[in-house]
Chain A
């Protein structure tokens, strides 16, 4: 006997009305991501910009681009910046997050969070020119940091600054899930402060650390304005060459580079996901 009274049936038939709420977001993402990526891929297999949607496939742009050593040096700079910036940011963010968590007074923790989040309240252009004023010869630090401006250290400094909040937040939320009892239990079992950190706190906050790394890395390798303004044309990342090629109307080449950037991002994201599974798999 099957009928509406059978629980299995009724459950299947009834849709969750909340699912409709997801619709605008899904439509938006499909248009913004899938359509744009499809367009990019179609542009990358042309030799010049054309209004014909289904022009014949031509891989000349791909082979020129992949054989270009300048492109690979740009890819190298992009990845190096991503790696250095995400490591420095996370190393700074981790103690910051602990500091916010352990602050006893509510207003002090709120003030600390405001300081951490202040970089994203300032426009990227203003922030970058601010860094230029700080670093330039004759600035408040004399010529100490002169050699940093328009070179990689300056770009790294500014990128770490703006991406700090994106690292603090996931770390802070992972710290907040750890009950004080774990640290107390570790101390009670003879662990010194260093052992408590290494054997209990670090492994339990590793998922937060990894998502912070992942977020900052992704943001850094796609950053455009900060490297453009503080790199002074000497530090060229992938996002800038894409922009330059669009300016030069070399749309297929820009598309090839954009696809490379996307693939790099996807590779890094899946690497992080694999590591997270490996570490976090047993915790839950």
Chain B
């Protein structure tokens, strides 16, 4: 599809305080034009505030928001080249689907009526809601309402489409389907999509790039693969995918230990090993880094998940190929992994 806008977004040193609470502490972030960028983080991390600052619905205390090379830090929401999809959809209850979508074209009066009508029809077709044009929002399902909300924002052909947890109100099956559709709409329009979510699998499936936020700062920004394989902090390691986190690396006579397992020497406050990097060996095997008692085993189809407890009581999750182990609950086995699989965080000085 032609005529859709796409701009980069540059956020520099943006801070925001509500009362005495610092919601955003100096955020800097680059979002490439035509990319799908997710802001991922737990609730209360400031991701929605950052999105609302991009939309112009909130004003940063300090810092600059540049959209497509133009400083928009102080531009009112209704004059920005962005459009926002609200978590609830926020469809106007007194207007039909078609009138909701046409709302943003009538406000600027620059779009001739005939063109507005064809653009509304085109965008409703894109989100597969064409046959519902004359319905009221109250008669639509949650998924249909969200499609209309996205169409209403996209029809204005914004340079940047902002989405605030657009799928979180939907049931899981619908979420999975709409993830693929969101990705497709982004590719077909070529518009820059910035999507806030607390769901890491959603972010990994949707985004070209993910900014992981925690407590008002961006912990790490990168592709899903970067974040999974090279997490820059303990928070990112535990938030993206599953991870076994070990604390307190202590030097001993033979190597260093943490939580009853032997690690290669070095300094770290915490260490992370992915479940799929863990191997189970006989308890007396020389490669064993320490004993683990099997608590449960479960078969998921693609893998066998074994949960173990180390001698210090730390729970460890191992994800093995089906048939890679015969361990049963109650057995004691040896826990093994490659040195290269260990990620270290916060090396103490």
Q: Are the CB atoms of A283 and B94 closer together than 8 Å?
A: yes
A181, A185, A195, A204: residue with the most chain B Cβ atoms closer than 10 Å? A185
Among candidates A181, A186, A282, A283, residue contacting B103 with C-beta atoms closer than 8 Å: A186
Query: Which residue in chain A gives the minimum CB-CB distance to B79?
Result: A190
Q: Does B171 contact A (CB under 8 A)?
A: no
Whether B189 is near chain A, meaning CB under 8 Å from some CB there, is: no
Look across to chain B and name the residue whose beta carbon is closest to the beta carbon of A280.
Answer: B94
> With A185-B90, A188-B57 given, is the CB distance from A282 to B83 under 8 Å?
no
Decide yes or no: A188 and B136 within 8 Å by CB, A181-B90, A282-B94 being known contacts.
no
Name the interface residues of A263-284: CB closer than 8 Å to any CB of B: 282-284
CB-nearest residue of chain A to B58: A184
Asked if A192 lies at the interface with its beta carbon under 8 angstroms from chain B, I say yes
Complex Cα–Cα for A195 and B156 (A): 17
Establish whether residues B107 and A203, one from each chain, have CB atoms under 8 Å apart when the complex forms: no
Which residues of A lie under 8 Å from residue B82 when comparing CB positions?
188
Contact present for B76 and A187 (CB under 8 Å): yes
How many Å lie between the Cα of A200 and that of B90 in the bound state? 12
Interchain CA distance A188-B79 in the complex, whole Å: 8
Contact check, B107 vs A190: say whether CB atoms are below 8 A apart: yes
Q: Does chain B have a CB within 8 A of A17?
A: no
Interface residues of A in 150-201 (CB under 8 A from B): 179, 181-182, 184-192, 195, 199-200
Please state if B93 and A181 are interface contacts (CB–CB under 8 Å): no
Q: Within 8 Å of chain A (Cβ to Cβ): is B222?
A: no
Give A184 to B57 CA distance when docked, in angstroms. Answer: 7
B94 touches A189 (CB 8 A): no
Nearest chain B CB to A161's CB is how many angstroms away? 33
Contact B152 A189 (CB under 8 A): yes
Please tell me if B138 contacts chain A, counting CB pairs below 8 Å.
Answer: yes
Once bound together, how far apart are the Cα atoms of A191 and B107, in whole Å? Answer: 5
Q: Is B241 an interface residue (CB 8 A)?
A: no
Per-position contact with A for B73-101: 1 when CB-CB < 8 Å, else 0? Answer: 00011110011101010101110000000
Q: What's the least CB distance linking A210 to chain B, in Å? A: 14
Within 8 Å CB of B83, what residues of A?
188-189
Q: Does B339 contact A (CB under 8 A)?
A: no
- Closest partner residue, chain B, to A190 (CB atom): B107
Q: Is the CB of A190 within 8 A of B92?
A: no
In the complex, are the beta carbons of A189 and B57 less than 8 A apart? no
Q: Is B282 an interface residue (CB 8 A)?
A: no
Contact (Cβ within 8 A) B57 A187:
yes
Is B94 in contact with A187, judged by CB distance below 8 angstroms?
no
Asked whether A185 lies within 8 Å of B107 as measured between CB atoms, the reply is no
Give Cα A179 to B87, complex, Å: 13
> Judging by beta carbons under 8 Å apart, are B107 and A182 in contact?
no
B254 within 8 A of A: no
Cβ A189 vs Cβ B103 within 8 A: yes
**Which residue, B55, B78, B83, has most C-beta atoms of chain A within 10 A?**
B78
Interchain residue pairs with CB less than 8 A apart (13): A179-B90, A181-B88, A181-B90, A184-B86, A187-B78, A188-B56, A189-B104, A203-B94, A204-B92, A204-B94, A282-B136, A283-B93, A283-B94
Given contacts A189-B103, A189-B153, A190-B79, 18 further A-B contacts (CB under 8 A): A182-B90, A182-B92, A184-B84, A184-B86, A185-B86, A186-B92, A187-B57, A187-B77, A188-B56, A188-B84, A189-B107, A190-B107, A190-B108, A192-B78, A199-B103, A283-B93, A284-B93, A284-B138
